[in-house]
Amino acid sequence: MSTLDHQDTGPGNTGPGNTVPDNPYDLLGDDHDDGHRWAFGTGFTDPLAGIDTSVPAGVDAAALARYCLALGDDALIYSHRLQQWVTRMPELEEETAIANIALDLLGQARMLLARAGGILGRTEDELAFFRDEKDFRNVALAEYADQDFAELVARLLIFASWRLALFEELAGRGSSAGAADPVLAAIAAKAVNELAYHRDYAAQWVVRLGDGTDRSHRRMQDGLEAVWPLTGELWRPDADALAELSPGAVDAVLDTVLAAAGLDRPAAAPLAAVGGRAGRDGVHTEAMGYILAELQSVARAHPDATW
Amino acid sequence: MVSAAYDVAAATPDPELPMLTITDLGILRAVDETAAGVTVTITPTYSGCPAMREISADITHRLDRAGFGHVTVKTQLAPPWTSDWITADGRRKLAAAGIAPPSPAPRRSGPVPLTLTFSPHSGPAAPGCPHCGSPRTRRTAEFSATACKSLYRCDECGEPFEAVKPL
């Protein structure tokens, strides 16, 4: 059996003098218990390993799990939608941007699902791959299928502005003391810096297209109009919420961007809830079934597969 | 804390930037050596950092090989990692590898201000070219091949290069 010195075969390190096994497939059958693995990224562990995940006194554990699930599902489903854009972007720079934003959101989803799962007694993978549509709590904005680049950046601007403002509150960087759960507060604090990059990326494109040619302006306005009805759901009252966020904070950001872009704030009425129920209640748009089919089919076909 | 176990853990390379150790990157937060074993605490750079598992396994393997038993690797989220924690040594190694080290991360209290226009010279202070040293560089994209980097181009020598994002 060839020896693989982990230090010498890290990705990107292909300089001379490396120990390269004769046949990389030999490593597949190797003993994985000694810290070696046959490929980069094949191991997944609890993203909250070693973190004190006890629920503080005074915090309703069931409500905390529901809330983390909601915020985690927003990120998981949104990330999946962005991943579907990869290889379809107009330029390589946008390709890497969208892939990076999707990766950040996936990381946030993993930590939030792990936080919920720790309380519910389920792993993050079980929550992502073995829940049915009615048990997903994401808002409809996360599951919407962008029809073009204008819709993509319009939706990302709204989502990232909302999530950034909410996470600033959860992290205690807004007008409140932050989430009563320190794990959620720490996840939010970490995400804030990432979301600021996402929001500004989307804002800059909205301004560039809105303030561009007649055609780009018209299509950017159309993109905004298309996704705007989905914003109403963001402000539905949530009894589980661990931070208060007023629409004014997000509106101020959006209005600033729209003014710079020369775009009109859409007047479209919000998408109606179904019998008073929406995404947080497990009631989704038609798009959701297709997303879950793609997201979950491999895991469900091979439920006991290990890497 | 400096101990024999610390030295072993500290030498672990980052899988995506293998010219840097986890100490250079500011990812290693603590090494606690007790009679029961060694506990190593690390922090992710980005929420979605795919290297955490690699780093954790590598630390365990190295300590194991050096004769330390019962190794536990813990994650710490707060305070969140900032590119300011990259050491002077780390910055030197980045530049030597053709990657511009990050400018100081913005420190804010209150809401993150909006940056509305993308221009090659907007945003964080432009890093000097790691190839020719010219300060005349322009940002071509906010994101790059890994979560922690942006793309730049040098106006002097024309070479594109990556820079670690200030975060």
CATH number at residue A266: 1.20.1260.10
Could you list the residue range(s) of the whole structural domain that residue A132 is in? Answer: 61-301
- Chain B CB within 8 Å of residue A256 CB: yes
Within a domain: A49: no
User: What pLDDT does A29 receive?
Assistant: 46
Query: What does the alpha-carbon distance between residue B100 and residue B138 come to, in Å, rounded to a whole number?
Result: 12
User: Phi-psi region for residue A292, left (φ > 0), alpha (ψ -120 to 50) or beta?
Assistant: alpha
Asked if residue A223 has pLDDT above 90, the reply is yes
Query: What does the alpha-carbon distance between residue A176 and residue A244 come to, in Å, rounded to a whole number?
Result: 8
Query: What does the alpha-carbon distance between residue A66 and residue A71 come to, in Å, rounded to a whole number?
Result: 9
Q: B4-75 has which CATH code?
A: 3.30.300.130
Question: Tokens 């962005």 belong to which residue?
Answer: A82
Within a domain: A33: no
Return the residue in B39, B81, B138, B143 with the most chain A beta carbons within 10 A, the one to mutate for interface testing: B143
- Chain B CB within 8 Å of residue A191 CB: yes
Q: How many DSSP H helices and E strands does chain B contain? A: 4, 7
Classify residue B13 by its DSSP letter: B
CB pairs under 8 A between A and B: 162
Q: Across the interface, which of B46, B111, B118 has its CB nearest the CB of A104?
A: B46
Residues of B in contact with A254 (CB under 8 A): none
Weakest-pLDDT range from A162-171, A275-284, B58-67, B112-121: B112-121
Q: What is the pTM of this model?
A: 0.89
Within a domain: A168: yes
Domain ranges of chain B: 4-75, 90-106+118-164
- pLDDT tens digit string along A191-213? 999 999 999 999 999 999 999 99
Residues of A in contact with B69 (CB under 8 A): none
- Chain B CB within 8 Å of residue A54 CB: no
- Chain B CB within 8 Å of residue A185 CB: yes
Within a domain: A3: no
Q: Would you give the end-to-end CA distance of chain B in angstroms?
A: 26
Domain count, chain A: 1
Within a domain: A288: yes
- Chain B CB within 8 Å of residue A6 CB: yes
Within a domain: A138: yes
Return the residue in B38, B99, B107, B114 with the most chain A beta carbons within 10 A, the one to mutate for interface testing: B114
| pLDDT level of residue B88 (50, 70, 90 thresholds) | very high
% of chain B residues with pLDDT over 70 = 93
Asked if residue A91 has pLDDT above 70, the reply is yes
Q: Pull the structure tokens for residue A233.
A: 């759901």
User: Phi-psi region for residue B118, left (φ > 0), alpha (ψ -120 to 50) or beta?
Assistant: beta
Higher pLDDT, B9 or B110: B9
Closest Cα in chain B to A9: B15
Asked if residue B49 has pLDDT above 70, the reply is yes
Residues of B in contact with A191 (CB under 8 A): 47
Q: Which of B82, B90, B17 is nearest to B54 (CA)?
A: B17
Query: What does the alpha-carbon distance between residue B103 and residue B22 come to, in Å, rounded to a whole number?
Result: 19
Within a domain: A264: yes
User: What pLDDT does B111 receive?
Assistant: 75
| Kind of pairing between the strands at B160-164 and B149-154 | antiparallel
Within a domain: A9: no
